[in-house]
Structure 1
Amino acid sequence: MDKALILEKTRYFVKDKMYKEGSGHDWFHVERVCNIARYLAQKESADMFIVEMTALLHDIDDWKFSDVYNTTVTEEFIKSVEVSEEDSNKILNIIKTMSYKGGVVNSTQNTIEGMVVQDADRLDALGAIGIARAFAYGGSKNRSMYDPSIKPMDFKSLDEVKNKDNHTINHFYEKLFKLKDLMNTDTGKEIAKKRHKYMESFIEEFYSEWNFK
């Protein structure tokens, strides 16, 4: 099957599956990640087909929404659109090692395509969009915005990440503020600096308003 047609079918599949997802991992998140990934891929001379396919499919089997950590749905879809075995392996290997997962699992990327898509996904977790997504995710998990009695922590397992009683402000310290220094590409690092600074100013203002006297 022609690669342009594969990408078209993939966009339709992902949009149909994720359009009204309410935790900040919806179709619009995927679309933004794709846009960022294409930009980074041009800068880094990465394989655009691998980058776009990975960006489109990266959240289909996301571990945050299932107790089963696998890529079954993604693999079945890739087979259905006749992606070559070589390309399929590249896409799946990136997806399986891409997520931050509370920092408890090695997410090092070994290809430029993986580095590009991982940077794009992490950039969408930063800045104004990142702030909005953090609170959308927290709300979807019935978490409070902030509870001063619950301090940030270093996680030891994925189950702990998923099940610990937590609040959204902690997420900034447990993940978001760490992402700037985890970017792979020079372009990603530059974009991350600006978005990181914006989040710092937001948190400063949040505490100022929270502690208003």
Structure 2
Amino acid sequence: MNIEQWANEFDNYLLKNWVNDDNAHDIFHLRRVWRTAQKIMEPIEQVNPLVVLAACYFHDFVSLPKNHLQRHQASSLSADKAVSVFQSHFPSLPEHYYEPIAHCIITHSFSAQLEPKTIEAKIVQDADRLEALGAIGLARVFAVSGQLNRALFDANDPFAQNRPLDDTQWALDHFQQKLLKLPSTMQTSMGRLLATQNANYLVQFMAKLSAELKGNSVQFDDHIIEQFWL
């Protein structure tokens, strides 16, 4: 099978068999991560696209809530379950691919804090982290915060100028606490470029929000741009 046929096989399997109620990590997320991974792969030589593809489709096979005590183990659980599925449902997938695919899945996770050792794992990690930035990332952070019953922002100090950041209470704090730091964690040159562009989109949102909170519904707050622009 060519890579497109493999993608269809994985997609169809997950649609029929994957039980998942996490809207931030659904089948559409998996498809987007694969598309992004393809873009990141374009300038890179000696990449195994099937390893990347399989990891993109199965990296969230076990998805645990952000506040779950075993959240940091989700990627390892996903890798184990994915290999089991490959053995039972995809016999034509070469067995020697299992370990590199599992490595991609295990190391993609931000909460696991593991370093990717292969170019395929670096691509998958970058592609997945890019989902936390840009318009998709903006939508996801507030959707997840709503599920966790967190406030949008601290009305008295929305940008934490005079208090510690705390994204367990306020969704907006997550921008500074994690999201705007993601470009510096990217493993590939294309990943860093895309992450910087999409992180600055979040800065623009922050600048617009700041202006609106000050009663200006038209302009952006230049001070926020100056403070956070990457």
TM-score by length of 2: 0.75
Q: Counterpart of 1:53? A: 54
- Find the aligned partners of 1:20 and 1:196 in 2 and give their Cα distance: 28
Q: Counterpart of 1:142? A: 149
Q: Percent identity?
A: 27
SS across alignment from 1:64? coil
1:125 deviates by 1.2
- Find the aligned partners of 1:18 and 1:131 in 2 and give their Cα distance: 26
Alignment RMSD (CA, Å): 2.6
1:60 deviates by 1.2
Contact kept? 2:34, 2:53, Cα under 8 Å:
yes
- Find the aligned partners of 1:31 and 1:174 in 2 and give their Cα distance: 27
Change (3 A) 1:165 1:180: closer
Which of 70, 73, 87 matches 2:97? 87
Contact kept? 1:41, 1:51, Cα under 8 Å:
no
Q: Counterpart of 2:40? A: 40
Which of 165, 185, 189 matches 1:152? 165
Deviations 1:21-56 (A, max 9, x none): 454222111111110111212321211100111111
Deviations 1:82-114 (A, max 9, x none): 33332111111111111111xxx4332111101
Q: Counterpart of 1:183? A: 186
- Find the aligned partners of 1:26 and 1:148 in 2 and give their Cα distance: 32
Runs of 5+ consecutive residues of structure 1 not aligned to the other structure: 154-163
SS across alignment from 1:122? helix
Give yes or no for the alignment of 1:77 onto 2:85.
yes
- Find the aligned partners of 1:22 and 1:146 in 2 and give their Cα distance: 23
Instruction: Report the AA paired with residue 207 of structure 1.
Output: S
1:67 deviates by 5.0
1:20 deviates by 7.4
Contact kept? 1:30, 1:56, Cα under 8 Å:
yes
Instruction: Report the AA paired with residue 75 of structure 1.
Output: V
TM-score by length of 1: 0.81
Whose RCO is larger (CA < 8 A, sep 6+)? 1
Change (3 A) 1:23 1:138: farther
Deviations 1:169-213 (A, max 9, x none): 121122111111111111111112211111111112223323449
